[in-house]
Amino acid sequence: MNTTITRGIEYLPRSRRRLVVTVALAGYPVAVAALAALKHTSLNRWLILVLLLVLLLPTLATLAVGYRYARGRIDGRGARLDERDLALRQQAYALSHRVLAAILIAATAITEIYLTSGNTLRFDANAFWPVAIWVIVYLPALPSLMLAWIETDQPADA
């Protein structure tokens, strides 16, 4: 069963892998935004928690799939890396850097527009934790996700 799942992940077609990466990257910000919106409603707190978990579950699952797909090829642990793996790792790190730079530039620009429009930003624990969790979860996972994004479909066994 475990081997079947592992092989299934290993041979995921690129279109599905890209869907997995998209869900993994978008899931958490969507969940945080939903939580921020739901906080201002009269919904029961437990219901909000359940909704949050439902939104986070696909994110966690897709992050796990992305990490498993890279199977040690990013950190080099437990995998014998050959020249193609090393080249792919380099490409994944380069793409991660580009994606991270784009996210940081976009976040800075949005904050700048928000602040110059006469709004104020309170940086308390409520604002800090979502950012901290994003950094803790996504920074290490980004190269694995990018590897899953760029690698072409595996050739059929012969």
String marking each residue 37-76 x if it binds other proteins according to CB under 8 A: ----------------------------------------
Residue 153: DSSP 8-state: P
Per-residue burial over 98-130, b if 16 or more Cβ lie within 10 Å, else e, is ebeeeeeeeeeeeeeeeeeeeeeeeeeeeeeeb
138-157 residues in contact with other proteins (CB under 8 A) are: 152, 154-157
Shortest distance, CB of residue 153 to other proteins, whole angstroms? Answer: 9
Binder among 2, 78, 83, 125 for other proteins (CB under 8 A) = 83
C-beta closer to other proteins: residue 40 or 80: 80
Residue 76: DSSP 8-state: -
Helices (H), 11-82: 14-39, 45-70
C-beta closer to other proteins: residue 84 or 98: 84
